[in-house]
Structure formats: C-alpha cells, structure tokens
Structure 1
Amino acid sequence: MLCVMISPWSEAFAYDQTAFGWGYKKNTEHNPPDAGKYGKMLDEYNSYYVDKSGEKVVYLTFDLGYEAGYTDMILDILKKENVPAAFFLAGHYITSATDLVKRMHEEGHVIGNHSYNHRDFTTLSEEKIKEELDKINKELNDAIGIRHTQFVRPPRGDFSERTLAITEELGYTSIFWSSALVDWGSQKGWNTAYKNIIDHIHPGAIVLLHATSKENALALEHLIPELRKRGYKFKSLEYLLWKEEVDLPYQFR
C-alpha cells in the first residue's frame, strides 16, 4: 500500500502565480480609487486596500524598515492628537529600534508584519514566506509579547493570488492602501505631502506613510486637524475588520 504525504502548502500551487505590483486609478472627486481586478482579488483572500463601508474614516499606516530619527516625533503627534495608527515593521527595525517598538505597543498602536528581510513574496516558496513572517513574530514576542501579528503588508506591495492565499491560510489579513505618499525620495516640503493626501482623501482611506523625514511628520501635524474639520475620524485597523465590536485601547475610544 502506497502512502502519500501531502504538504499543507501543496494546495497553494493551485493558485495563479502571476506577480503584480499594487496600484489603482486615482481620482480627485474624493471617492475611493478603482483597483480593478486587483481589488476583486483582494476581496477573495481576506485582504483590504480600503474600507468599503462608506464611513468617513481614515486609517494611518506606516511601513518601517529602518529608523531615520523621526518616529518619536510622529508618535508624539499621534499621542497629542489621540490618533491610532498601524506600524508595519521589518526585522531590522525591530532589532535596532526596540524602544520605539515598545512605545508603539504601549501607546496602543497596531504592530503589523512587513516580513523579516523585506523580500518580494512572489519570488519565495511557501515555506520561505512563512519563515519571513514567523521571524517577525518571534522578534516581536521577545520584545513586546506579541506571538502572532494579525496584519501583514507585502513588501513593496508585490503580490499574486498565490501569495494572498498563503498569507490568508497562515491566519493573516493583508493590508494594502488607497492613498500613499511617494515619500522615500527627495522631499519638497511638508505642504506637498499634505496636499497629496488632501487632494485624494476619501471615505475609508488606508493611507501609507513612511517615517523617513521631518516633512512627513509636519504634514501629519497639519493633516490630522484638517481631516477632522472635514468630518473624518481616525480608526485603528481592528475597526476595519470588526467595527463597533472591537475592543479598542481606551485612549482611542
């Protein structure tokens, strides 16, 4: 009698492996952007780029691979304004800026998984993707006691149906974005970053930022009160999944 061992990952090979880079069609009517077939694919695999409820809510998210010296300033602004955020961390950041990671956690922000080595998931095997995510969980468990992150952001926004299926099977919610600053290159002042967000803001926006410059922090300081003036509320990513049922940290209720 022949016994065949089936790997828990073998099922993922049935999915389309075509690689995509995240993108969407912007508009200036303050409506959620059209992500076309990408958006439909995300819907199938517990993944989000926008909150489709129609509520005037905004989710601030930061991708952090290294510390540029401005995260403390950003955390100060978030604390002052009583705004929750999500920080997607790579391995180097956790090991080199542990005190900041502890502060994020202590102040009630979501800590997300950005993979240990920031490698393109579409080029990795299922086992390697799991390893990249597990290593982040181990570092976070050692630093702040988080055993398994709920949210993952694929490095550079690269994905395929296969990678979305794998991360879902591993128990993650993949988070992309519907508004972003091209803020890792040359800076043109805080007002440019501010205008970029304001011009394209929409209900349910998931905003991608990086803590790479003083200009970004200053833009945030102006952005928060202006969006509140326009009727927007800032929510934690847990609200995206569970709405009023979520037990949010006291300071963000």
Structure 2
Amino acid sequence: MIIPQKNGGLIKSKDHARTTGAKPQELLDKYQAYYQGPDEKVIYLTFDEGGNDITYIKQIADVLNKNDVQATFFLTRNYIKNEPEFMNDLVKHGHVIGNHSWHHYDMPTLANSLSVDKFVAEITETEKTYMEVTGQQMKKVFRFPKGGGSERAMKMVKDLGYSTYFWSHAYYDYASDVSGEEALKTMMEHYHNGAIYLLHPSNKGNYEAMDTFIKNMKKLGYQFDTVDHIPQTKEK
C-alpha cells in the first residue's frame, strides 16, 4: 500500500522503474487495493478534489479533452452535488468520477463499531448523489481522503463493493502552488509503466504542466487510461 506524504510511505520511481508498495502485495490483493497498474506503457492520471475555494479542475478537464485523454476524478459528495453540469460533462467525455467520501474525513478513524454507520454513509451518500446528478451508477472506485487506509478500513470499503486506489507518484502539490515548470519536472522524472499519478487540481502548476506532460508521454509511446480499467485481482 502506498500511503504518501502523511506517513512518509511513498516510494518514488527511480530511472522510470516500477515502484514497490509499502505493504505486501498479498495484503493489497486481499482488499482489491492498487497503487499502480500492469507493467504496460499506460499512465493513470487521477485528481483529488475536496471542494477547495481555488481550483483549476475545469481548466485541467479542458486540457484532457483537447488531448483526447480520459482521467479519474476522485470527488467528494458536496462537490458532485454543487457542480451537476460539470459532472455530466466529465461523464460525457469518458472520464471516471470516483468516490472520495462525503466530508473528506480521515476514514480509518471511523472504521470501528461506534462509527460504522458514519463510515458507510460517507461512501453510500456520495454514490447516491452521483446517481441523482448523472442518472448513472457510480463506478466502484474509491480513494481514501488524507492518504489514510488501514486494513480494517480497506476491508469495509471492499465489503461495500469498492476497490481502493492509492498511487505510485505524488508530490507536495496540495498545500501551496508550484510553478508549471516544477510540476512538469517531477511528473517527467518519475513516470513508469502503469503509474498512477495523484494530482491536486487546486495547484495551478499541475494545470500549466498538463498539456506538455501529455504530449511528452505520447511521444514516448505512452497511453492514458482510467483506473477502473486496471485488471481486478481475483478473489483468494
């Protein structure tokens, strides 16, 4: 399992080699949790949005659409509820909207007998709102807010029918702006086969770097896809 910045568990790729999870693969498989895709020239762009006051999410989506690239957007319930037109536009262009909980809580703190109903509601209320907004069933893809993800919490997520998606590349882009040049530099330094990129659309640098990054990766023979196309682990 890759639990980044928060717990210092992110193992960055070196020389574009595939990364190694901070938890045993057997544990990831048990709960259908993933931090990278298959060993193929595919990049999985993912964007986490908790409803920040400043966000470049719509500009990023425009760049993706112009480049015919589909990505996964892990969104909170209130953002989905408040942006129905944008949600439907994302779906129309083939993007996947993943479940990022209702209130963006640290979910492992709710994974106990006293808070189980609250834990479940964080996920089920988000998917209900998605259905109301788009008229479609939500894809069963989930990302823990705040980089959390205990074994008990992963089991509860799996019991609700979801797979969990961590990431194999992230950087300090969630607390302050970085330049487009700096964002592009770290994106290009750590790509690898099957990489799942975690990016925050609240950071302008990610928006400024996105078009060039996509074009660079396509020149290198890479394709882009959504995380729901990562082959599912077979039940053990």
TM over 0.5: yes
2:48 matched to 1:63? yes
Partner of 1:41: 27
Cα distance in 2 between the residues matched to 1:55 and 1:63:
24
Please report how far the alpha carbon of residue 83 of structure 1 lies from its aligned counterpart in structure 2 after TM superposition: 0.3
Please report how far the alpha carbon of residue 32 of structure 1 lies from its aligned counterpart in structure 2 after TM superposition: 1.9
Partner of 2:205: 215
8 Å Cα contact 1:30-1:202 kept in structure 2 = yes
| Correspondent of 1:29 among 11, 15, 18 | 15
2:90 is paired with a residue of what secondary structure?
helix
1:37 is paired with a residue of what secondary structure?
coil
2:122 matched to 1:160? no
Cα distance in 2 between the residues matched to 1:148 and 1:96:
17
Partner of 1:194: 184
Please report how far the alpha carbon of residue 23 of structure 1 lies from its aligned counterpart in structure 2 after TM superposition: 2.4
- Give, as a single letter, the amino acid of the residue that structure 2 aligns with 1:238: D
Partner of 2:214: 224
Q: Write 1 or 2 for the structure with the bigger share of helix.
A: 1
Range that drifts further, 207-216 or 157-166? 207-216
Unaligned runs of 5+ in 2: 1-5
Cα distance change on mapping 1:241 and 1:84 into 2, 3 Å = same
2:23 is paired with a residue of what secondary structure?
helix
Cα distance in 2 between the residues matched to 1:74 and 1:186:
17
8 Å Cα contact 1:22-1:158 kept in structure 2 = no
Please report how far the alpha carbon of residue 174 of structure 1 lies from its aligned counterpart in structure 2 after TM superposition: 0.5
Matched ranges for 1:49-128 at <5 A: 49-51=35-37, 53-66=38-51, 68-124=54-110, 125-128=115-118
8 Å Cα contact 1:21-1:159 kept in structure 2 = no
Matched ranges for 1:111-190 at <5 A: 111-124=97-110, 125-190=115-180
1:186 is paired with a residue of what secondary structure?
coil
1:83 is paired with a residue of what secondary structure?
coil
Partner of 2:3: none
Percent of aligned positions with the same letter in both sequences? 36
Cα distance change on mapping 1:39 and 1:180 into 2, 3 Å = farther
Cα distance change on mapping 1:102 and 1:22 into 2, 3 Å = farther
1:87 is paired with a residue of what secondary structure?
strand
Please report how far the alpha carbon of residue 41 of structure 1 lies from its aligned counterpart in structure 2 after TM superposition: 2.1
Cα distance change on mapping 1:23 and 1:109 into 2, 3 Å = same
Please report how far the alpha carbon of residue 185 of structure 1 lies from its aligned counterpart in structure 2 after TM superposition: 2.2
- Give, as a single letter, the amino acid of the residue that structure 1 aligns with 2:98: G
Range that drifts further, 187-196 or 67-76? 67-76
8 Å Cα contact 2:56-2:204 kept in structure 1 = yes
Cα distance in 1 between the residues matched to 2:211 and 2:75:
22
Please report how far the alpha carbon of residue 72 of structure 1 lies from its aligned counterpart in structure 2 after TM superposition: 1.9
8 Å Cα contact 2:178-2:204 kept in structure 1 = no
Give the TM-score normalised by the residue count of structure 1. Answer: 0.82
8 Å Cα contact 2:106-2:145 kept in structure 1 = yes
Please report how far the alpha carbon of residue 39 of structure 1 lies from its aligned counterpart in structure 2 after TM superposition: 4.6
Deviations 1:104-134 (A, max 9, x none): 1121110100000011111113322211001
2:18 is paired with a residue of what secondary structure?
coil
Cα distance in 1 between the residues matched to 2:68 and 2:86:
18
